[in-house]
Structure 1
Amino acid sequence: MLDFFAASTSQSGGGLLGFVPIIGMILIFWFLLFRPQMKRAKEHQEKVASLKKNDKVVTAGGIVGKVTKVDDDYAEVEIAQGTRIKVVKSTIGDIIAPGGKAAND
């Protein structure tokens, strides 16, 4: 009977050591999945914040146009001559460089 208690106490000594692989996996997920996603979101927010008049943009829905007016939360985009639409700034997917294609193409 005493041998049973002695064997069980010697096997349960590594309680914290068992969490090291789990913590390691969490750190790997953080650096491989979550951190790059947060970086892309931050870059997108910076792009949207720098939006100005006469920028060519592509919306998340694929509409290409030229910015004619910028407010706090909205931008007015001219998609054809005389046709303007009001879009939420966060739905602007990319800003097209003058004379170039969108960065995500």
Structure 2
Amino acid sequence: MGYLISDAWAQAGAPATTEQSMLGFLPLVVLFVVFYFFLIRPQMRRQKEHQQLVKGLSKGDEMVTNGGLLGRVTEIGDHFLKLEIAKDVEVWVQRQAVSAVMPKGTIKEL
């Protein structure tokens, strides 16, 4: 049995050159670049647009939350804002829950 192991070591191929080992990393680098441009970069752009949307909120804006609530902003705090969803019905929502700001008059149309 011991002679099989020595035969296996004797048949080992030549070590890979530096150029061959660098070519082995090329698919990983290409995969990372594709991943960055198709996933990471667009997500960073959407996140920046959402932060600007949240910063630009003001009293009286009509907006939709991630949960689908449509209402008018009546009060703005640091982390929360008060949203009037019906006459005399107000709820507190997180600022990050804002999905979109609607054009003025959207609530009257409904």
Summarize the alignment of residues 36-47 of structure 1 with structure 2, pairs less than 5 Å apart: 36-47=42-53
Q: 2:78 aligns to what SS in structure 1?
A: coil
Q: CA deviation at 1:97?
A: 2.0
Structure 2: gaps (5+ residues)? 1-10
Q: CA deviation at 1:38?
A: 1.4
- Structure 2 counterpart of 1:53: 59
CA root-mean-square deviation: 1.8
Once residues 80 and 27 of structure 2 are traced to their aligned partners in structure 1, the CA distance between those partners, rounded to angstroms, is 47
- Structure 2 counterpart of 1:32: 38
Structure 1: gaps (5+ residues)? 101-105
- Structure 1 counterpart of 2:24: 18
Q: Deviations over 1:25-72 (max 9, x none)?
A: 111011001111111111111101111000001011100000001111
**Paired residue for 1:81, among 62, 80, 87?**
87
Q: State the number of aligned residues.
A: 95
Q: CA deviation at 1:99?
A: 4.6
Report the structure, 1 or 2, having the larger helix content.
2
AA partner of residue 63 (structure 2): V
Q: Which moved more, 1:13-22 or 1:61-70?
A: 13-22
TM-score w.r.t. the length of structure 1 is 0.82
AA partner of residue 84 (structure 1): E
TM-score w.r.t. the length of structure 2 is 0.79
Counting aligned pairs with the same residue, the percent is 35
Q: CA deviation at 1:15?
A: 1.0
**Superposition misfits of 4+ residues, deviation over 4 angstroms:** none
